[in-house]
Amino acid sequence: MGRPKSKTSPRMLNAAAKLEQALALRATGHSWPEIAHKVGYRSGKVAYETVRKALRKRERDSIDELVAVEEEKMRLLERAGFEGIARGELENIARVVSVMTRRATMLGLDAKNRSEDYSVIDQWLAGVASIDADEVADLDIADPEDLGIDTDDEDDVPDELDDDE
């Protein structure tokens, strides 16, 4: 059976209620295993991941709303500028160009793909440049563990997620 598509299905409403309860418990200092037990998640890790993903989505949604509001403001300013130009108020040209420049910056329309800004490895990882194994071997790369980079296969989750507490 597939997941329900309706945001108001009993399953989705239950998940939303569990999430809100998990957020409230975390805000009052409960550990992830405690939250999992009280709310009904399988483990502390599941509780943590569920809350983390929901908070990231809320952040993305907030950013999207802000961008939409700013786009509407720019549209209104641009329209007023064009109306001024139509009336012969040529000083509005600079205003319209300024709004257009700001919009392009905000939306990333002027961003350039400058491969010269990447290291050789970044270019290779991004698929921008192709290098062979001999070139990689010639690079003086430290052992990742020497750099403090965790190379084990475990996900990076807080230590408190260990359900064996």
- Residue 42: φ, ψ to 5°: -65, -35
Residue type, 128: V
Helix (H, G, I), strand (E, B) or coil at 119: coil
The two tokens of residue 65 are: 């709303």
Q: Are 19 and 27 in contact (CB under 8 A)?
A: no
Residue type, 115: S
The reported pLDDT for the residue numbered 133 is: 52
Residue 77 or residue 64, greater confidence: 77
Residue 121 or residue 99, greater confidence: 99
Confidence tier at 126 by pLDDT (50, 70, 90): low
Q: Is 102 exposed, middle or buried (0-12, 13-18, 19+ CB in 10 A)?
A: middle
Confidence tier at 6 by pLDDT (50, 70, 90): confident
